[in-house]
Amino acid sequence: MNFDLVRSFGGRKWRSGLVALLSLCWGVGHAAEQTPIEYKIWTYASEIQNVCKGELWLRGVVCIFVTRERAQSILSVAGDDKEVLRQIAGGHGYFSPETSDMSLGDMLLYRRVPMYRAGVVIYPDEAPDNPPSAFLVTVRERVIEALTGWTLTDPDLPFVVSRIGKELPIAARGSEEEKTRAADFAARKAALADSAARLARLEAWHQSPEYNIITCFRQIVAARQEIEREQRVGRASGYENKRKLHQAGDTIVDCEDVIKAQWPRYRANGGTARDPAELSAQFQK
């Protein structure tokens, strides 16, 4: 079904045909208006996935993950791509400049408020280590002869960009905001790399012969102190807790075996301590 519409955009009037593409109970009309702005999403892919499946989906924004080649194809028709429009029309929720966010119930109460949905077309950057790129496809609801339809509008309406920017750190390519986002992302990336390096060093330390020898030496010292204390308690009370004595003895035997196995590795790595006690003393600080 075609409807003849006269639409005004950028001070000029455009006459276009609205094609109804039924998706579930929605009709999708589309007519390209302008090429979308390219954005960068300054966060990690896993976080983008979580936001897309959560808050954005609930608020009328559909994330569409594509290859760079597919993104260029969608851009070449200014977002006027049937499959992309079907995905947006089949989304959930609405938003508008007047109400910010709308549920289905709100939509039924405020039929006269202009309602929008948007798609965030996300695709990899040319450099694999860089954050992904994206552009927006925005549709506006049209109600014609009781048929709910959607038609393309300016993809980068300020309130649309703001709605998405509340959940994803997007910034237009070449903008001042991109510089800020890039600096924040670089600082976060450096902090994560530093944290990962510290964890790697800690893991390496836990696997080292020094760590195993020192840990076991100190456990032996503590176990012998426990045996001595329990024997003193026995002399004072006439009763020794055999279970405690056995547990302490078990710790001593196990750790002696560990030290015996790890000491040759320690010496082979250039260790200079004469015995476990001296090695332990070196790490007292």
Tens of pLDDT, residues 26-43 = 445 554 457 789 999 999
The string of pLDDT tens digits covering residues 71-94 is 999 988 888 899 999 999 888 888
Which residues have CB under 8 Å from 257's CB, separation 6+?
none
Residue 97 has pLDDT above 90, yes or no: no
Residues listed for the chain: 285
Residue 7 has pLDDT above 70, yes or no: no
Q: Which residue has the higher pLDDT, 56 or 26?
A: 56
User: Cα dist. 244→139, 177, 228 in Å?
Assistant: 73, 65, 11
Task: Look at residues 36, 214, 203 and name the one whose alpha carbon lies nearest to residue 121.
Answer: 36
pLDDT of residue 148: 63
pLDDT of residue 100: 54
So where are the chain's domains?
Answer: 35-141+152-176, 201-282
pLDDT of residue 28: 53
The string of pLDDT tens digits covering residues 211-240 is 999 999 999 999 999 999 999 999 999 998
Q: Which residue has the higher pLDDT, 110 or 39?
A: 39
Task: Report long-range pairs for 273-278 (Cβ below 8 Å, ≥24 apart).
Answer: 276/213, 276/214, 276/216, 276/217, 277/217
Residue 27's SS3 state is strand
Residue 110 has pLDDT above 60, yes or no: no
How far apart, in whole angstroms, are the C-alpha atoms of residue 3 and residue 45?
Answer: 41
Q: Which residue has the higher pLDDT, 149 or 2?
A: 149
Which segment of 56-60, 147-151, 265-269 scores lowest on mean pLDDT? Answer: 147-151
User: Is the model's pTM score more than 0.95?
Assistant: no
pLDDT of residue 231: 93
pLDDT of residue 94: 80
Give the mean model confidence (pLDDT) for residues 113-117: 81
Which segment of 10-19, 81-90, 191-200, 264-273 scores lowest on mean pLDDT? Answer: 10-19
HSE value, Cβ hemisphere, 13 Å, CA-based, for 108: 2
**Average pLDDT in the chain:** 82
